[in-house]
Structure 1
Amino acid sequence: MDEKDTGGMYGWIWRHLPGNAWVRVMISLVLVLAVVFVLFQYVFPWAEPLLPFNDVTVDEGSGATP
């Protein structure tokens, strides 16, 4: 692995952001907030009916109180 490959995906993103370190930090923060916004506004509401969170079964076996 050569020196340019270190850092993986995040290193590649960091190297391709414009500006100095502080500008890159601010751009990274905006990008993370945008991803979180899209997840909460579009992806999670779309996926919620597909998840079994409301499929609860309660067994009233011998341990249940009357």
Structure 2
Amino acid sequence: MISTWLWSHLPGNAWVKTLILLIAFVGLVAVLFEWVFPWLEPYLGIQEQTVGQGG
């Protein structure tokens, strides 16, 4: 699988590999929220809606 391939090709011991993967994950999430999701939003057709107060 890709995860075992990635883990075996990263440098360092388990702590260093974990730190590298954590930094990569945080970077990926940041890229998604900064550029990908704002670019994709107009194509999704999601509108802001609020729920009115009940009776």
- TM-score normalised by the shorter chain: which range applies? 0.7 to 0.9
Q: Percent identity?
A: 48
- Whether 1:15 and 2:8 are equivalent positions in the alignment is yes
Aligned residue pairs total: 48
RMSD (Å), alpha carbons: 1.1
1: CA distance between counterparts of 2:27 and 2:4? 19
Q: Whose helix fraction is larger, Structure 1's or Structure 2's?
A: 2
Instruction: Indicate the structure (1 or 2) with the bigger Cα radius of gyration.
Output: 1
Long gaps (5+) in structure 2:
50-55
Q: When the two structures are superposed, what TM-score results if normalisation uses the length of structure 2?
A: 0.82
Structure 1: state its 5+ residue gaps.
1-7, 57-66
Higher relative contact order (CA 8 A, sep 6+): 2
Match of residue 29 from structure 1: 22
